[in-house]
Structure formats: C-alpha cells, structure tokens
Homo-oligomer: A and B are copies of this chain.
Amino acid sequence: MSDYQSIAADALNASQLELQGNPNSLALRRPFDPTAHDLEPTFRLTRYADLKGRGCKVPQEVLNKLVSSLQQDYTTQDHEHSHFMHMALPRIGIGLDCSVTPLRHGGLCLVQTTDFFYPIVDDPYMMGKIACSNVLSDLYAMGVTECDNMLMLLAVSTKMTEKERDVVIPLLMRGFKDSALEAGTSVTGGQSVVNPWCTIGGVASTICQPNEYIVPDNAVVGDVLVLTKPLGTQVAVSAHQWLDQSDRWNRIKLVVSEEDVRKAYHRAMDSMARLNRVAARLMHKYNAHGSTDVTGFGLLGHAQILASHQKKEVSFVIHNLPVIAKMAAVAKACGNMFQLLQGHSAETSGGLLICLPREQAAAYCKDIEKQEGYQAWIIGIVEKGNRTARIIDKPRVIEVPAKD
C-alpha cells in the first residue's frame, strides 16, 4: 500500500469514526475536527475559495443576456428536432432546472443537469454530500425520482498542501458517493483538475418516459406554493465563519449567541445534505403543477423564473418565509448584505418550491413530515397575473428550530 493509499484510508476511517456507525444519522455526527486528520487546527475548507456555494453563480441578469443569443438557436433547433422525432415535446432548456432531450429510442427522454460550486462548509465529507444532493435536486425539481448515473466534477485547490489534499479529497469524494448511494444511483466517472479555488459538483442523468417528469408550467389561479426546506443556509454558513473573525462577529453578537450559530450551522448542513427525493415523489401523488429548487438566485429569483415559464396568466405571491432559527435576525443585523427577507439570499441545495392544488397542499406537507420527520410550509398563493413573483411587504417569518 502506497503512502497515498494509506493516508486516504486513514482519512476515510477517521470519517467513518465520526459517523459513529450510522452514516445517515446527521444528528450523531460530530463537528469536523481537522486535528483528527493530522491537519492544522486552523484548517478551514471554506478558505479555499473566495466565493461560497451557490453565491458563485454568474448573476442571473448577466447570464440571461450572455446566453440569449444561444437561446434563440435552441428554439429553432429544438423545433426541428421535435419535428424530426415526430413528437411535440415542450422545449425545455436554459432557465429551467434540467434539460430534457428526446432520444432516438422508443419515446424515451434524457433528463440531465449539472452543477458545481465552492466549499460552503468546513467538513469535507458533508461538503461532498451537499454537492451531490444539490445536483440531484435539479432532477427532483422536475419530479424525476430515479437517477441513472452521476459524474463527479472536482477541482483541487492549488493552495492545499499535499497532506491537506490527501485528507480532504477522499472525504469529499466519499461524501458525494454516499449521497449518490442514498439516492439509489452511483458515480461512474468525472473530471478532476487543479484550480485556485477548491470546487465540487457533478452531473446527474436519467433516461425516462415522459410521464416520469413533471413539466413545471401548469400552475393555475388558486394553487398554493409549498417550500420543503427552510431558507437561510448562506446566512448560517457565513455567521459560522464569522465566529473566527471578531470584527464580523461583533456586528451580530447582540442578536445571536455562539451556540445559536453553531446550531443554525448544523441545521443548515443537515438541510443542504438532505435529498429532495421524497419531496419529488410526493409531487406525483399530490398532482403538483410545477416546481423548482431554490438555489443560487434565492427564493424570489427562482420563483420568478418558475412564474415566467407558466402557460396560464398567473403570478406567485409569497406571504411566509420559513427561516432557520435566528438567521432572520442575523441577516437584519448585517444590514442589507444578504437580502434574505427580500428573497435574494443565495441558498445551496435548498428546498423545492412547488405549485400544488389548494386542496392537496396540506396533505402533501403532512405526508412529507410523516415520511421524513421534516416540516414543509405553505408559503404563498398563485393569483391571476403576468407571470411574475413577489414577496408581500411584511412577510411572516417562521423560525425553524434546529432538529435535536
């Protein structure tokens, strides 16, 4: 066994120890301790990138402009493609969570998505899980519950020592892979490069019949909006980083205790690592009219994109904001920097935002809680309108406590 293998094996063993025999029990998981892996006590994975998580995305309006010239071509092309295939499938491409491509074989479609970003938490194993859950979430947002294959995308930071690399990378990979296994799929390949900023992400693909996915364009007036995870992941991970930075910490310590921040951080980690798979499965059971997952553009950003794709003349109005406990106060104490209550705070591996028939929504929320032990919330309604979304003036903030 070479040095690398032995170090990698040690790192995995240490990781498994931390799991204390129950890889799915996040509650039992101890905080990541760099020294348990022979790393410096000051080692922080999140320092290997200057932008965090989905906060790294090219801004929505810039992206829309940059791809607009390509988008036109897709329309033409997809039209030809549909004609060639003698099918009248809706065009689904840039702007939605997945691409859907009609295949040459027996009415099947390829549903596919990719995503990658920078470390948002300091525990490499959890970071791997979050990255994987985040990619899969795009499939789940389309109601697809089976993933046929995953690829992993990885960049090792040029600033990591060999030792750090040999500890961190196997843990990242292991977390990613474990999350894939939990989702009933596997990772069969990928690409790894060296880059200034550590990067992790992947590709998720499913080949399915058209009835396996839900085209997210069927919202009708009277539907309600359900959200399956709390907001505030970016605020929580930032606040946690500020525990090490006294100038930053001083700005928020009047509204929050260190213990509050640690709890919120673990709640956020737990939430980001959780799969939206049950949420997706229940969309079929309760006849969802469409859904998206809340990530880099924030709740309102994604609500607006979803609204813009609706067939009917509808608008989304959001009344309630479920937020990880204390994070609304932290966001307020920071001035406007997160724009959390304005719906613009980036989330990583956030919940599904789902349009459900009014009479099904409560049952949906009850069912998800029964199956997973997590709450979902009715946060708004679908009105007549011009395919936009907004948050009311004084939304009700629902404090979502840490799970004990």
Contact = CB atoms under 8 A, between A and B. Distances in A.
A199 B191 CA distance: 13
Interface string A243-271: 00000000000000000000000000000
Interface string A171-207: 0011001000000001111111111110101010101
A166 interface: yes
A5 B68 contact: yes
Interface string A345-368: 000000000000000000000000
Given A70-B173, A177-B70, A193-B56, A114 B12 contact: no
A69 B8 contact: yes
A169 interface: yes
Interface stretch (A149-157, A297-305, A324-332): A149-157
A77 B180 CA distance: 12
Contacts of A9: 69
A31 interface: no
Nearest to A106: B106
A230 B69 CA distance: 35
A116 B193 contact: yes
A301 to B, nearest CB: 15
Q: Determine chain A's interface SS by DSSP, over half rule.
A: mixed
B99 A188 contact: yes
A2 interface: yes
The contact size tier of chain A is 35 or more
Contact of A192 (B63, B77, B112): B63
Contacts of A188: 74, 93-94, 99-101, 112
A62 interface: yes
Contacts of A156: 58
A170 interface: yes
Contacts of A114: 114, 151, 153, 189-191, 203
Interface in A104-127: 104-106, 108, 110, 112-118
Nearest to A62: B4
Contact of A149 (B99, B148, B165, B196): B99
A104 B148 contact: yes
B56 A103 contact: no
A278 interface: no
Interface in A362-392: none
A330 to B, nearest CB: 25
A88 interface: no
A8 B65 contact: yes
Contact of A65 (B5, B67, B99, B207): B5
Interface in A57-94: 57-58, 62-63, 65-70, 73-74, 77-78, 81, 93-94
Contacts of A110: 148-149, 205, 207
Interface of A: 2, 4-5, 8-9, 12, 50-51, 56-58, 62-63, 65-70, 73-74, 77-78, 81, 93-94, 98-101, 103-106, 108, 110, 112-118, 146, 148-149, 151, 153, 156, 158, 165-166, 169-170, 173-174, 177, 186-197, 199, 201, 203, 205, 207
The 9 residue pairs across chains A and B that have the minimum distance between CB atoms: A4-B65, A99-B188, A99-B189, A196-B196, A101-B149, A58-B192, A56-B193, A114-B151, A93-B188
22 contacts: A4-B62, A51-B193, A56-B194, A57-B192, A62-B165, A66-B166, A66-B192, A70-B177, A73-B177, A74-B187, A94-B188, A105-B207, A106-B106, A110-B149, A112-B189, A112-B205, A113-B189, A114-B191, A117-B193, A118-B193, A195-B195, A196-B197
